[in-house]
Amino acid sequence: MDDWRPNLIPAVSYQDPRAALAWLEKAFGFEVFMLIEDGDGGIAHSEMRFGDAAVMIGREWTEDHKSPKSIGGKNTQSVHISVESDIDAHCERARAAGAEVLMEPETQFYGDRTYRCRDPEGHFWTVGQTVKEVSREEAEKITGLKITGWV
């Protein structure tokens, strides 16, 4: 087992984590790099890589830790994925895998082209690709907003 591990890893709960692993691989290109199964063959814990990032995929484990599918589609967070090339093809790949595209790919004022989708259990995912370098000053001029911390 290699010692690669990012400093921050979101954890996403699913009713059916095994189906989620397969879907995330098919739709987004994630790769399983850790899978821990219990004595009944259920998933106790799993982690997937995408570039230099990771996400944990697990089952619902308390009444307060549920998939959106179990709570009427409600979400309190979303996950953002940065891709390096062809955001439009990435969107079509996700759509073909069954993602509900909520926002078609569109170039944003900050220079990223993004789309938003919902996975089969209702989690929101935003996917972006930087297509244009934009300075803080340009972004402020375009939006009329005051921006601090722009890198």
Domain ranges of the chain: 1-61, 77-151
Dist. CA 103–CA 126, nearest whole Å: 9
Q: Which residues contact 7 (CB under 8 A, 6 or more apart)?
A: none
Dist. CA 132–CA 129, nearest whole Å: 9
The CATH code belonging to domain 77-151 is 3.30.720.110
Give the per-residue pLDDT at 2. Answer: 61
Count of H-run helices and E-run strands, the chain: 3, 8
Same CATH fold assignment for domains 1-61 and 77-151: yes
Q: Which amino acid is at 44?
A: A
Residues 14 and 121: beta-carbon distance below 8 Å = yes
Residue recorded with tokens 């979400």: 75
CATH architecture of structural domain 1-61? 2-Layer Sandwich (3.30)
User: Alpha carbon of 6 to those of 22, 32, 84, 134: distances in Å?
Assistant: 22, 15, 19, 27
User: If you compute the radius of gyration of the chain from its CA atoms, what whole number of angstroms results?
Assistant: 17
Give, for all 151 residues of the chain, the pLDDT tens digit. 567 788 899 999 999 999 999 999 999 999 999 999 999 988 989 999 999 999 999 998 888 888 989 988 888 889 999 999 999 999 999 999 999 999 999 999 999 999 999 999 999 999 999 999 999 999 999 999 999 987 6
User: What phi and psi, each to the nearest 5 degrees, are found at residue 126?
Assistant: -115, 135
What is the secondary structure of 19-43 as a DSSP string?
HHHHHHHHHH--EEEEEEE-TTS-E
Q: Is the entire prediction scored with pTM above 0.95?
A: no
Residue 97 has which token pair?
């895998």
